[in-house]
Structures are given as structure tokens and as C-alpha cells.
Structure 1
Amino acid sequence: MTWERVAVPFEGYGSGVEELAWGQSELWRAMQRQQTFMPIGYAEPLPPGTTLDTVVDGLRYWMGRYQTMRTRLRHDPDGRTRQVVHASGEVTLEVVDADDDTDPAKLAEEVRLRYWESDYDFVDEWPVRMAVIRHRGTLTHQVVVLCHLVTDGFGGLIMLRDLASRNTDPVTATEPLEQARWQRSPAGRRHLSTVLRHWEDVVRSVPARRFPDSDDPRTPRHWQVGLDSPASHLAVRAIAARTNVDASPILLTIFVMATARVTGANPVVTRVVASNRFRRGLGDAVSPLTQTGLCVIDVAGLTFDQALARTARRAFVAYKHAYYDSAALDEVVERVCRERGEHVDLSCFFNDRRLVTRDLPDGPPPTPDQIRAALGRSTLRWGDPIDKPSERLFVNINDVPDTVDITIFADTHYVSPAGMEAIAREMEAVAVEAALEAEQ
């Protein structure tokens, strides 16, 4: 195996120094808490016939088109971290020549892991690491790893879409430099004041605790479990057909009802991840914008359809108030906790990460027999425990076709491994029960 480094010069429109925009600040604070640059990316096969010039041109296109790709951080003497957008520079593409008897796919994954796990320099490194694998003279795979400060899932789709078409239309979305300027404008300050008042009212009103005491704290304390549930996917399709409601609020309702059953907590208080791209000027933004809204849902005594209607309303309000200065929000929450004389636990998160599979397939809804038959195809998987800090409970719905793929991350000092598994399995049970309600 040999390595070659190809220098790729670039230039693009826009440069300057600004405060971090709210989406960037949210991620920067999370990176500091979790001690990671939150890498995102992939190792994938290249289309046959791809040349090195094509890959170089694609990297240069990304660097020139998006200000976030040309952004580094600056830590100033006043203690603030600021974004610095450069007008030009030079980034490196690595070309890795695989030995004749080496599996290029395996080598590509090894390169991705090296990029993923090595330290990242926020001040002096460009926020992209890219390589191509060459095997017997032919480019076979590409590896791309980005610092999360560049983009989020929705922004990543826009980047891939633009790359495929080599879109040269001017970028019309508001980019982070301009986002930061608006956020400290009178209009931005009014918006933030409204959001902070809403959060303060909610935090004052909710029960302080989210979870009963864990009866099985582990070391390492942070665990993950996944459930792949084709039956839940069929159930969601049936519920959507019956209620004419999108899958996203259905999945949130499934999570809320399952959590209430397992923990005994009502109302369920969870932070829902919002893309924020429904806001003016942000629809096609590549930069990271996802933040969380605070959703409070009491499902005691409700049927699933009643809970679904309530959840959809509460989620709408939560998304409306999910764009803010996270440092200012933390100050509000800390003040309310002091005034209440107790810590209010807000460390329960729900994230519908589906992008490509967001739309349900067309066709007739699944039958009850099809849903029941799929129950036997569910699989549970446990990830490796870690000791890096994370949230007390974080539930993801992953972008996997023809199934509801759930990943639960939890601090076992608050949610035991058995409790994590119970929430995952109860989510499947709630979905299937709700889908079969119509025939009862």
C-alpha cells in the first residue's frame, strides 16, 4: 500500500470573521461536552470509469461553492470562538494505492476509520478529509469525512445533489456569516426573546425527573442498543393510511407512548430534533441548522390516535421554538432550576434521522397478517459501551429502507441496559398494536 497527496487549490465567494451562528454554536458546545469533532461521512464505491481529475474537480467544487467548507475556527482572547471563512486556500486529496491482493472496500473502510478516529484541528485544518482508493490502476472507492460544523444530514443531501448536477446557480440560502449577523439584529433578538420565554414557561411547569433510578449502572456507563423492526415499518404504513398523517409524528408518538409505559413518567418530556429548514432563507442551506425543541406530551388514558393528534400539535410548537442561541438558553434553564431549587432533567432526545427513506412507499397498506408475520424478523443488536460523555437517553430513527431501525444511546446510571431494550421493544409493540386497532 502506498499513499500520494494531491494538492487541490480552491477559491470561492465570501469571506470574513463572525460569531458562530446558532447551529454552529449548538454543535461546538456538544463537541466540547462529548470530546469529539462529530465526524460524518462515508466510504463508498466509485462509478466505473471515475478519473482522478473528476474527483479533484468535485472536491474543488465543494470547497468553492460552500462557505462552510472554507470555514475554520478562531479562539480569541475574549474567550469567544468565532468562525473564519476564507476566500481561497489549498486542501489535500489522498490517493491510496491498494496492494494487488488487498480488498479495496476493506481498505476504504480502514481509511474512513482513520479519518474518523484521529484528532481534528479546528483552527488549522480544513473541515474535510477525502481519499480515493486505487486498485490495479483503477479508482474503486472514495472516502469522505466531514467535521459536523460543515453540515448536517439535510445539508449533506443538498451537497450531494449539487455535486451530481454541478449546479452553478448562485447560492441563495443564508450562509453562517449572514446568519450570525441576522441573529444579533433587532429581528433576531426579538425572535430569541420569544423562544427563551417559551422554554422558560415549559421548564417551570414540567416534572423535574425523567427516569426512575437505574437498578443496573454499568462501567463503562454509556451503552447503545439497536432494534431493526420490519413489523414497525409495516405498522407505520398502516397507521399512516388510516390516519392520513405523515410517518414522522407517528414515530414520535410511538416513542412517547413506549417511554411512558416503560418509565412510568407522564407527561413525557423530550427534546425533538428540528431541521429548521422551514425558516425563511434556510430551505436550501448546507450549513448545520438542526437544534432541538422541547416537547411535553401527556398520553395517560389516550388511544393511539388521540395521542397522535396531541403529539402532532405539541411537536409543531416545539419545532417553532427550536432555533436559538444555545448558551443563552442554558442560562435560562440554569436560572429556572435555581429558582425551583432542583435540577430539571432535559436529557431525553428523539431524532428522526430518515432522509432518503422519509417518504413511505405507495401502494395498498399492509394487512394485519403481514404485520404479524413480520414480527419474527426483528433483530436486536448491542454496540460497544463507551465512557465518553453522552446524553441520558437519545433515540434515533435511522435511514434504513423497509424497516424502522432504532438506535438507543443511554447513560446506564439513569437508564439500565434492560430499560433500553424495553423501550426499543415497546416501541415495536406500540406500533403493531396501533396498526391492528382498526380490526378490533
Structure 2
Amino acid sequence: MVERIVVPFEGAGAGVGGLTWGQQQVWRAIVEVGSSMSMGGVVPVTDGRVLADFVEELRFLMSRYGALRSRLIFDEPWHVTSVDACHLVRQETFARGEMVLEIHDTAPGEDPAAVAAAVFAAWKARDFDYTGEWPIREAVVRHDGAITHVIVLVCHLAADGSGLGTMIREMGERDPVTRQAARPYTAMQPLALVAAQRTAQRQTDTAMRYWEAQLRSIRPRRFPGTVDRGQPRWRRVVWRSTALMLAAERVADALGTDTAPVLLAAYGVAFNTVTGQTAPFATQVIVGNRFRPGLADVVTPLAQNGLVVVDVTGVTAQEAIDRTRRASMNASKHAYYEPAARLALIDRLGVEHGEPVDLAVFYNDRRVGVIQAPDPLDTVPAVADIRSALPLTEVVSETPMVFFNEKLMVNVDDVVGTVQITVEVDTHHLAIEDLHRLLAEMESFTVSAATASDQAVASM
């Protein structure tokens, strides 16, 4: 049985405007893959919260964050399905409205965890109605009168992972008695960010000069060619390596840096090795942009594509990592721009080359809590520990995908105690055997750098 409670809300930041730069990038991806790319999950309730608590939590979220009170406006029917109309799509943020909290009561003998999982799976499989539905769904499961699970799903157009983190943190900071926010909301609402970005032409111009210089330094193609390798064409591989984590930490300690450039350099070297290239390695990276002034706590997608171009051929591991670190910093600096300007630049250079510029190779280090420079008090992983962890390396899963809109996407997951990498690949461009080899080469590069002689490591 499903009960629905209507939750009224009201908040600031109402109005009509375009999409933020980050939203434009997300909307283009949503159109390309035909999915809302929603985020969320099922969380067991173990702290005794009752139904009224969840009603107030939902009211708090809807009232505080304009992104959750926004719906899309399509001025022309073709704007709904065109990747070329992302900059024309508008949104309206409402000052007030009503949200629905669902209560799913279990039947006698029914497992509440299974009920919650089924609700989440059904929601995940159903795209949001961008013009007629708020971009969040929430439900609770009630078993023998007690709330056992909460289910939340948020459309990616409303928030990214860091935005969700802000919402969760600020909800937990509320006064335990009054349920009021710990502090007034001072971050920009989405429409205010849209207005600020309209005046940031200099930022876009600077970014495009960087992109053009980098694009002119590389070849148009990332892969040697296209081969029909049958079905399934698109696949997702989840792979784990504790040895890679330990080795990356040891190398990072030797270089006085964090593990992010170590893993990215390993990716670049492995990619060139597997594809047989000696040209500079080029990949788009996902840059969160929350390091920019005033954007840390904004609840809206802020991530945009950065471009890393780095020559890692014929150099030492230390030089490859150092070059990658500098290239990554430059990419992050120039990953905040009007998306239409970047697309126009890529098209223009494609015409000049006589073939499209292939940028369908991606890297996304989505770790949050594990990217940091080594603490002097931390124990540096020993070479013996790295070697003993090698047998633990495993392919966790390999599954077919219905569709994948790029050619290669390497994601470093936020999993403590190991390096977990989730890869999506178009096997017409990179064979599945070569993908497995690429992951092994990433591990080999890093382990080799970490297990060099003590003198070599100390001199890195």
C-alpha cells in the first residue's frame, strides 16, 4: 500500500532564466544518452526518525534549494531532443509549491529492504518529467509502524555529487529542536549563477584560447581506427586494485604530491602503450569547479570538461607524473566557460583539419575524501605490502550497456581501501581485451615506479 503526503514549501530565488554552464553540459548528456542520469539511493533508518521528521526534511530541501524548485521550459518542440539547443533551454524556479512524500507500507512477511530496493529500481528506470515534475523523488518504507528506509532520487540536472553533499551536510546541521537551518542560505541560487555567468565573457575567452592551443598541438584522432567487434558493443567494467592504491600512495609520498596526478599519468602512459601511440596523450577530464570563489556550496551542476594534453612518451615516471600534474592544473583552470563557445571551437578546428577532432576519451577522478597530499605522520606503504597485494587485483563485474555516447570513460570511484575504476567503453574503438590490458598497464606503471630501488624512489 502506498500513501502520499503533500508537503507545501516556499523559498527564494524565483524567476525564469537560462541554464547554468554546468546544467547545459548535463542537459546535452541527458539528450545524448536518453536518461535523466539521476543520483540517489536507499538508506536504512536506524536513528528512530518518524514520519514527521521526513516531512520536515523534505520541506527543508525544497524551500532552501532553488534547484529543486525548478522545471524546464522548451520554447520550441525540437529543443527537447536537440543537442544543439542546450543554450536555448530555459528554466523556471518557483517561489512556492507542493511536493509529495510517498510512504510504502510493507505487507505481512515482506522484507522492507526489498520493498525499498524495488521502489528505487522503478524510479531509476523512469526518467523525470522535466516540465511537470520536481527534480527530486523521496519515499520512505514503513514496517510494523516504524520507518525502516528512506529512498531519494535527484535528477542530475538539479545537482551534482558535491551539491548532494552540501544538501546532506546542511540538513544534518539543522537545530535538533526547531529543525531550522544552522545559518541563512548565502550561496547563489541557479538563476543568480546564470546571471553571473552572462557577465563572464573574459573567463570564456581565456578558456577558449587555452583549448585552441591544446587542440592545435594534438592529432585529430585518439584511436587507430574503427572495428566492428560484434555485440555487446558498449560495456561497463568495474576493476579493483589495492596494489595500485598502495603504489600510488608510495609514489605520491616520494614526490610530495597527492595520488591524483599519479593515477592520471598512469592512465596516459597505459593508453599510449595499448593504442601504440607516441603522440601527446589527450583526454577530457571532469572538473568540479567548486574551488572557484563563491561556488563551493552552490546546489546545481558545476562540473565541466577540462582538457589535459601531456607528452608522456620516453620519459621517467617522475617526469610523466610531474608533467601530468601541471597539465591537470592548467586543465582545471580553464574548465569554466560557456559550453557553446567550446563546441563552436571544436567544430571550427575540425573543418580546418578536414575531419572531426575526436575528444571522446574521458577521465573522471570522482574521489572526494581520499585525494590529499600525504600526512607526514602517515605510514608510507612498504614495497612488500604492494607486491603482496597484487594477487588481490580483480575484475568485479563486466556488463553490457544499452548505449554509450563516448568511446572511453575511465572513472576512479570513491571507494576507501582500494582503487576502484569503472570504465565504459565502445569496443568498436577499443577492444575489450585492450581495455583489460590498459587497466593492467596502469597498475604496472605505478607499481614499477613505487617498487624501484630505495635510492631511485628517494630521488623522485
Select 2:187's aligned residue among 163, 168, 173. 173
Matched length = 437
Deviations 1:372-403 (A, max 9, x none): 11111111033321232421000000011100
Structure 2 matches for 1:357-368, cutoff 5 A? 357-359=370-372, 363-368=378-383
Structure 2 matches for 1:25-44, cutoff 5 A? 25-44=24-43
Select 1:326's aligned residue among 316, 339, 345. 339
* In 1, Cα distance between equivalents of 2:40 and 2:447: 34
Structure 2 matches for 1:234-249, cutoff 5 A? 234-249=246-261
* In 1, Cα distance between equivalents of 2:51 and 2:345: 52
Task: Tell me if structure 1 keeps the 8 A contact 2:258–2:371.
Answer: no
1:202 and 2:217 aligned: no
* In 2, Cα distance between equivalents of 1:364 and 1:357: 15
After the TM superposition, which parts of structure 1 deviate over 6 Å for at least 4 consecutive aligned residues? none
1:123 and 2:113 aligned: no
Deviations 1:95-121 (A, max 9, x none): 111223222222211111111101310
Aligned partner of 2:83 in structure 1 is none
**Which amino acid letter does the alignment assign opposite residue 309 of structure 1?**
D
Aligned partner of 1:275 in structure 2 is 288
| 1:235 positional shift | 1.1
Aligned partner of 2:358 in structure 1 is 345
1:301 and 2:309 aligned: no
SS at match of 1:225: strand
Deviations 1:218-277 (A, max 9, x none): 323211111111111111221122111012122211211211211122311001111101
TM-score of the superposed pair, with normalisation by structure 2: 0.92
* In 1, Cα distance between equivalents of 2:434 and 2:228: 9
Aligned partner of 1:415 in structure 2 is 430
Task: Tell me if structure 1 keeps the 8 A contact 2:13–2:189.
Answer: no
| 1:217 positional shift | 2.2
* In 2, Cα distance between equivalents of 1:399 and 1:65: 27
* In 2, Cα distance between equivalents of 1:312 and 1:46: 42
Q: 1:224 to 1:149 in 2, by over 3 A?
A: same
Select 1:184's aligned residue among 198, 209, 214. 198
* In 2, Cα distance between equivalents of 1:60 and 1:358: 34
1:254 and 2:266 aligned: yes
1:288 and 2:287 aligned: no
| 1:179 positional shift | 1.5
Deviations 1:352-389 (A, max 9, x none): 11123334786211111111111111110333212324
SS at match of 2:403: coil
Q: 1:13 to 1:336 in 2, by over 3 A?
A: same
* In 2, Cα distance between equivalents of 1:342 and 1:213: 13
**Which amino acid letter does the alignment assign opposite residue 135 of structure 2?**
P
Aligned partner of 1:212 in structure 2 is 224
* In 2, Cα distance between equivalents of 1:205 and 1:431: 27
Q: 1:5 to 1:357 in 2, by over 3 A?
A: farther
* In 2, Cα distance between equivalents of 1:303 and 1:12: 56
Select 1:385's aligned residue among 383, 395, 400. 400
Higher mean displacement: 155-164 or 199-208: 199-208
* In 1, Cα distance between equivalents of 2:209 and 2:433: 37
**Which amino acid letter does the alignment assign opposite residue 240 of structure 1?**
A
Higher mean displacement: 404-413 or 327-336: 327-336
Higher mean displacement: 44-53 or 310-319: 44-53
Task: Tell me if structure 2 keeps the 8 A contact 1:221–1:412.
Answer: yes
Task: Tell me if structure 2 keeps the 8 A contact 1:48–1:140.
Answer: no
**Which amino acid letter does the alignment assign opposite residue 173 of structure 1?**
A
Q: 1:101 to 1:358 in 2, by over 3 A?
A: farther
Aligned partner of 2:85 in structure 1 is none
Aligned partner of 1:155 in structure 2 is 163
**Which amino acid letter does the alignment assign opposite residue 72 of structure 1?**
R
* In 1, Cα distance between equivalents of 2:218 and 2:111: 54
Higher mean displacement: 99-108 or 152-161: 99-108
**Which amino acid letter does the alignment assign opposite residue 388 of structure 1?**
F
Task: Tell me if structure 2 keeps the 8 A contact 1:34–1:390.
Answer: yes
SS at match of 2:400: coil
**Which amino acid letter does the alignment assign opposite residue 2 of structure 2?**
W
SS at match of 1:105: helix
SS at match of 1:396: strand
| 1:214 positional shift | 5.0
* In 1, Cα distance between equivalents of 2:249 and 2:423: 22
Aligned partner of 2:416 in structure 1 is 401
* In 1, Cα distance between equivalents of 2:294 and 2:17: 19
SS at match of 1:437: coil
TM-score of the superposed pair, with normalisation by structure 1: 0.96
